[in-house]
Amino acid sequence: MEKLKFLLALGLLSVVALLGHFEGNKSIVPTGEAVILNGNTSGLAKYGDWLYMVLNESTHPLLVYDIRDPTKPRLVRYLPAPGWPMRCRVIGDWLWTVHGNGEGFFHLADPSNPRFSLLLTEGPNLRRLERVWSRDEWRPEFRGQKFLVHPCLTYSSCATESTLFYGTLENTTEIYDLRQPQRPKLLATISEGAPANLVGNLLFIASNNRLSVYDVAEPSRPKRLGAIDGASFQELTANEFSLRGSAVTYGDRQLFVVIRRNLRNFLGIAQGPFEGAQCGIAVFDVSDWNKPVLLGWYVLPQVVSDFTTLVYHKGHVFVSDAAFGLRVFDVRNPKNIRQVAADRQGGELSAIALFPKRKLLCVGQNITGGLVFVDVSNPQRPQVLSHLHLAPCRFWGNMAVYKDRYLYAQGDFSRPRPGFSALFVVDAQDPRNPKLAAVIPGVSRAYGIVVVDRYLYTSGGDIFDLSEPEKPRRLDIRLPCSGYQIAYQEPYLFVANFAGEGEGEAQQGALYVVDISQRENPKLIGKLLLPLGHRVITMAFLGKHLFLGWAQRSGGRRPSGLLVAVDISEPTKPRIANQWDVSKDLGFNEAITYTHIWTDGKFLFLGVYHRWVAMFEVSKHPQLSLKLVSKLGNLPTAWIMTGEPGTIYRICLDRVMVLRYQP
């Protein structure tokens, strides 16, 4: 009992000491967090009754599902994996995950919990091949001796324990004997395309709207069994569907192939550059490979989707949808294919908006186009209220809020490039059940949005009248400039553009000052060329200065963070007051530093991509300088932050973190 009293007293003293430290030294203190799934679903593989799915650009990229009941896939585990995997494949008793920036081998002795191996002596022979990681490093003389990881091994290559089916840069398939991995032996070449999948002894080769199949029981003598040409099936062509031969699987003497078509009418877009896809599955009877019979097909109605890989299991097809997550279809009756299960996954967190009166955050997701609403009224326990899935697009940077109810988010579609953008309007009156109110297509790309009175201005130059908040009216007039980010201080807009945009500014960005005293008559009154840079990520006002935080890219060097203070006391003549290299001058010491900033009007808060947030006092004499007040490290990677006096909301790749300080 005495020991218990001592421990309780010690704990109380620790809390008091922490509070005292917090009050006296203005320390930044981590308070609470809400984890939100991130990453982009990109590949599937099966081992018995277990399914493995990888998420690209994720902090936990390997997912393990129990699929003994295909209609109820049960997610049992998230696992770390090297790099950002794009594909995963089973080779014998090993799982292989691969991307250009990382590769992993996992032993499947316990398929519910794959064991990551660091030992080169373990794993299939494929692991011991010499690799070239970058296409820039590839040389023709490497052929047959070294193998390019990205994109060749990344997207298409398949392997057994002794054989590699390698998709080359020339879109052919080379077959190698790997029994001596330091001396791979070329056995055969298939010129019809690159490998799409290997199921047993069947190798599927993808080309444009066409799929070929080979029996590779004898790898040195691949036997062509037949081909399926999407153009020969009138039922598909009449509905403008083509085969995505790179996404295929086989089971029970049937072939399952992804079909896709452009979905221009989605979001009301009848014409223009929008190339969103509607995806589905076609089922073929291939009892005779030379006479395939289309048994049936199904597509997701009015949904933009991106089916990348397929797995067949017990009469069901599992699909990785990069725009959504895992989908499961019952294909036992090809004339009546049904989606029977789905698991929403993915979406790197990269955009933010704050409803200050309601203590509500909206967080936007990259690639998968989701919006997550988070209640932050209790800083210790932020709560995810809802997840609104819209379309596979990028929400990045600052979104805008009007009347503490309406959210405006610019989505940048990027499949295929060049992108196409739209403005999404969401009614968040009930944050547990937000409603999509409107979609305005064809807006200019913008990663910054501000609302001034009843007008919405985007960094892309578009202007909207919000007299009817749920139906913004785009004005005929535009801003006299455009760029990456935008900020407002009455009566001026400040727009920072990309480096490389604008005549005569191939290596420099610029900051523009726009007078909007007359809201519908913007006038460009000032311009400042910025230091060499890639893109301004965030901007914040403090006194007579506008601080810019960005990722800098110069020549062939990797990006490094830059913080610039611009004196805006004379808006017609903005000038750089000071600038700091975040890694060198401010001591963050990171190879890649994207700099995000925020101010509460008193302190300047600076965050860097990987693990740091710091609080600075800004001194104006004898020259503008920064004095470190508090610094917090070992934080998850993050793109952006915002806040209110006493509280910082840091948007990490996979979570919202709440940090507190004494204002």
pLDDT band at 558 (very low <50, low <70, confident <90, very high): very low
SS3 state at 106: strand
pLDDT digit string, tens, across residues 412-440: 876 544 568 899 999 999 999 999 999 99
Question: Is the pLDDT reported for residue 499 higher than 60?
Answer: no
> Is pLDDT of 302 > 80?
no
Q: Please check the confidence at residue 2 and state whether its pLDDT lies above 60.
A: no
How many other β-carbons are positioned within 10 Å of the β-carbon of residue 528? 20
Q: Which helix (H) or strand (E) holds 15?
A: helix 2-25
pLDDT band at residue 6 using 50, 70 and 90 as cut-offs:
very low
Q: What is the pLDDT of residues 508-518, one digit of tens each?
A: 689 999 999 99
Residue 556 has pLDDT above 90, yes or no: no
pLDDT-derived band at 69, boundaries 50, 70, 90: very high
The whole-number average pLDDT for the span 375-390 is 93
Cα distance between residue 480 and residue 514, in whole Å? 8
User: In the structure, what pLDDT confidence band is assigned to residue 5 with cuts at 50, 70 and 90?
Assistant: very low
User: What is the DSSP secondary-structure string of 620-659?
Assistant: -SSS-EEEEEEEE-SPPPEEEEEEETTEEEEEESSEEEEE
pLDDT at 113 over 80: yes
170 vs 5, more confident: 170
Name the CA dihedral angle for 529, 534, 535, 541, rounded to a multiple of 10 degrees: -50
**pLDDT given at position 26:** 72
Q: Which of 543, 573, 574, 577 is nearest to 563 (CA)?
A: 577
What pLDDT, on a 0 to 100 scale, did the predictor assign at position 442? 87
Per-residue pLDDT at 15 exceeds 70: no
pLDDT at 590: 66
Cα separation of 260 and 279, whole Å?
4
Single-letter amino acid, residue 172: T
Q: If you ran DSSP here, which 8-state letter would residue 190 be given?
A: E
Query: CB–CB of 154/87 below 8 Å?
Result: yes
> Is 209:229 a contact under the CB 8 Å cutoff?
yes
pLDDT tens-digit map of 608-631: 887 889 999 998 877 899 999 999
Q: Is the pLDDT of residue 506 over 90?
A: no
Most confident of 199-208, 273-282, 390-399, 507-516: 199-208
pLDDT at 11: 38
The more confident residue out of 584 and 545 is: 545
> Across the beta sheet with 194-199, what order do the strands follow?
194-199, 202-207, 210-215, 223-229
pLDDT in tens, 246-268: 999 999 999 999 999 876 555 55
pLDDT tens-place string over residues 140-159: 999 999 999 999 999 999 99
Query: Tens digits of per-residue pLDDT, 559-581?
Result: 457 899 999 999 999 999 999 98
DSSP classification of residue 14: H
Q: How many whole angstroms separate alpha carbon 388 and alpha carbon 503?
A: 40
Q: Which tokens go with 441? A: 């297509």
Residues in the chain, total? 663
Report the percentage of the chain scoring pLDDT > 70. Answer: 88
pLDDT tops 80 at residue 656:
yes
In this prediction, residues 111-123 reach a mean pLDDT of: 95
* pLDDT recorded at residue 555: 41
Q: What is the pLDDT of residue 263?
A: 65
* Confidence (pLDDT) at 532: 62
pLDDT on residue 235: 93
Give the pLDDT score at 551.
Answer: 65
| pLDDT at residue 270 in the model | 44
The amino acid at residue 385 is: L
The reported pLDDT for the residue numbered 358 is: 96
Q: Which residue do the tokens 């967190």 mark?
A: 349
CB 214 within 8 Å of CB 224? yes
What pLDDT does residue 100 have? 83
CA distance 449 to 459: 6
CB 276 within 8 A of CB 391: yes
Mark 296-331 as b/e (b = at least 16 C-beta within 10 Å): ebbbbeebbbbbbbbbbbeebbbbbbbbbbbbbbbb
Residues 6+ apart with CB under 8 A from 348: 38, 39, 40, 57, 58, 365, 366, 367, 653, 654
- Average pLDDT on 395-423 reads 84
42: which 2 tokens?
């990109």
Residue 150 CA to residue 166 CA, distance in Å, equals 12
Q: What is the mean pLDDT of the chain?
A: 88
